Amino acid sequence: MKKFLTIGEPLSVFSSEDLNASLSETKNYTRFLAGAELNVAVGVSRLGLPTEYVTAVGKDPFGTSIMQDIKDAKIGTNFIDVMEQYPTGFYFKQRVDHGDPEIFYYRKGSAASHYDVNNLNKIDLSEIEHIHTSGIMAGISEEGRITTETMLEKAIKDNIRTTFDPNIRVQLWSSEEYMKKILNQLAAKANIILPGTNEGKILVGSSDPETIADFYLNQSEITDTVIVKIGPDGALIKNKTGLDQIISGFKVDQVIDTVGAGDGFAVGLISGLMDGLTYENAVKRGCAIGAMAVQSPGDNDGYPTRDQLSKFMERG
C-alpha cells in the first residue's frame, strides 16, 4: 500500500486548564502533541494508513517526548532528523468558551526551522502516494520556505498528488504582503488547495468561497481542485472538470477548542482520497473529522479511529 507523507514542525502545546484566563494569568496547563502537519499525520495514521513525517527535533526533553508520541502514533520516523544544536519548539494555548484561543509560540530558531534541502534530498519518495504541505514551514524560516517549495516541485516531477493548506500564522511572517506572496506562490505548485474563508480574505481579497476557488484554479496549471473551508457550514469543492458543490458540515453540541479542526478536515480529505472515495465523500469525511476535533482540548486528540468515524458519520 502506498504511503502518505507530510513535512512540518512538531511542537509541544501547553493547553490551559483555566477557562477564559489570559495566558499571562493562566497557572495550569496540560501538555499535548501539536504542529499542524503533524496533526494531519496523526489523524491519517489513526485511520490505519501508512504515514511518514519529515522534520527535525532537538535533542531535548520535548524532542524526546515528541519522538515517542510519533512512534506511539505509528508514524514512520525514518525521515526525522535529530539536531543536537537546536531546540524543539513549543507553544501555549488559552482555553476559551467561544471563539479562537490566544496562542503564544516559542519556536524561533527551532530544529525544524533549520531543516533544509540537503536533508530533504536524502528522502526517497518512491513509495509515496500523497504529500501534504502547509504555509507554516515556509513561515518559520527561509530554509523552510525553500524546502516546502522543493518538496512540491519533487512531487510534480514524480507525479505524486499534493495538498497545500495556507495555514496562515501571521506571527511567523515579517509582513502580510510577503506572507501573501509566498503562500500564493506555494499554492500554485500544489494540486489541491485548502484555504479557509478567513484566509481567502487575506490571500485573495475576498471571503466568498467561489471567488477564492476561482482565484486558485486560474492562477496555475498544476492546481486542479480547490476546497474552501466554511467552518461549521461545511466546504465548497470546485475543480477544473466542472465539479462545483457545497458539502454541508456537522453540528456539534459543545465546542471545547477550535485549534486542529482545519488539520482534521485535511485528515478526512486525504484519507478519503487514499481510500478511493469521490471528492464529495472525502470532503464529507473532512467535515466530520473537523467537527470531531473541536470537542477535545488537544490539537489532535479528537481525531477518530475508523470505528469512531463511522459512528459519528452515521449519526449525521
Point out which span in 29-37, 179-187, 198-206, 245-253 binds ligand KDG (CB under 6 A): 29-37
Contact 5, 51 (CB under 8 A): yes
Q: What binding mask, one character per residue, do residues 204-243 give for ligand KDG by CB under 6 A, x or -?
A: ----------------------------------------
299 is an active site residue: no
Report 157-196 residues binding ligand KDG (CB under 6 A).
169
What is the rounded CA–CA span in Å between residue 153 and residue 140?
20
The number of beta carbons lying within 10 Å of the beta carbon of residue 11 is 26
Q: Which is nearer to ligand KDG, 111 or 239 (CB)?
A: 111
Contact 278, 237 (CB under 8 A): no
Residue 45 binds to ligand KDG (criterion: CB under 6 A) = no
Q: Which is nearer to ligand KDG, 138 or 226 (CB)?
A: 138
The distance of closest approach from Cβ of residue 217 to ligand KDG in the complex, given in angstroms and rounded to an integer, is 25
What is the rounded CA–CA span in Å between residue 106 and residue 70?
20
What is the rounded CA–CA span in Å between residue 175 and residue 80?
30
- Candidate residues 39, 94, 110, 197; the one interacting with ligand KDG per rule CB under 6 A: 39
Q: Which set of grid coordinates corresponds to residue 161?
A: 498528488
Contact 283, 227 (CB under 8 A): yes
Residue 293 binds to ligand KDG (criterion: CB under 6 A) = no
Q: Which is nearer to ligand KDG, 136 or 138 (CB)?
A: 136
What is the rounded CA–CA span in Å between residue 290 and residue 159?
28
Bridge partners of 128, per DSSP, are: 3
Contact 182, 213 (CB under 8 A): no
- Candidate residues 7, 42, 247, 259; the one interacting with ligand KDG per rule CB under 6 A: 259
Q: Which is nearer to ligand KDG, 149 or 263 (CB)?
A: 263
- Candidate residues 3, 12, 35, 294; the one interacting with ligand KDG per rule CB under 6 A: 35
Residue 41 binds to ligand KDG (criterion: CB under 6 A) = no
Spot the catalytic one: 69, 165, 214, 263.
263
The distance of closest approach from Cβ of residue 192 to ligand KDG in the complex, given in angstroms and rounded to an integer, is 17
Contact 187, 193 (CB under 8 A): yes
Residue 11 binds to ligand KDG (criterion: CB under 6 A) = yes
* Distance spanning both ends of the chain, measured CA to CA: 30
Find, among 258, 91, 81, 262, the residue nearest to 168 by Cα.
Answer: 262
Point out which span in 28-36, 108-116, 183-191, 283-291 binds ligand KDG (CB under 6 A): 28-36
Q: Which set of grid coordinates corresponds to residue 183?
A: 503562500
Residue 299 binds to ligand KDG (criterion: CB under 6 A) = yes
Q: Which is nearer to ligand KDG, 39 or 51 (CB)?
A: 39
Find, among 136, 146, 89, the residue nearest to 115 by Cα.
Answer: 146
Q: Which is nearer to ligand KDG, 238 or 259 (CB)?
A: 259
Contact 136, 171 (CB under 8 A): no
**Residues with active-site annotation:** 263
The contact set with ligand KDG (CB under 6 A) reads 11, 34-36, 39, 136, 169, 259-260, 262-263, 299
